[in-house]
Structure 1
Amino acid sequence: MTLLLFLGVALLVVMAGVRVAYYGDVLAERLGLGRAWMGLILVAATTSLPEVVVTLAAARLGPLTLRWATWWGATSLTL
């Protein structure tokens, strides 16, 4: 059961990645940006989103040290 669930979620991730690439091309064409520039923006946004969610959750639930450590770690890894 766990393997089937994993495969299903993996398939969803692949399908979402294909759609993001397609819409990135469409946006790049409509906005007059290069495909590489749009890819850079989309990759930066999609890789930073989990860090933003974890930081917001830590800010909401955790003590001050957890908030600071989460923000600092996410920021330093992004740089």
Structure 2
Amino acid sequence: MFEDEFKKDSDVRRGKYTTVSIPITLYNRIKELIKDTGFTSVSQFVTYILREVIASMEREKLESSMISEEEKKRIIEKLRKLGYI
């Protein structure tokens, strides 16, 4: 499961990486946390977590940009009053 998530990114398959610095204490905590899991490295775990967080934030942003049915009705009514509909 985790390996599939890690391999999804086309940049990963092409070997394109960058370095992100985290505190050593956090690195060590993650290293301990992922023992006996499907994660083979701290980088793999951090990549997985960041993908999850970013996907969640993108969903929230998309949902917040969508207008409600109530707003749609108000807009349609305004357009109707202005003679556009």
* Fold shared, TM-score > 0.5 on shorter chain: no
Bucket of the pairwise TM-score, normalised by the shorter protein: 0.3 to 0.5
Q: Under a length normalisation based on structure 1, what TM-score does the superposition of the two structures give? A: 0.36
Greater helix share, 1 or 2? 1
Point out the structure with max Rg over C-alpha. Answer: 2
Q: Which has the bigger relative contact order, CA under 8 A and spacing at least 6?
A: 2
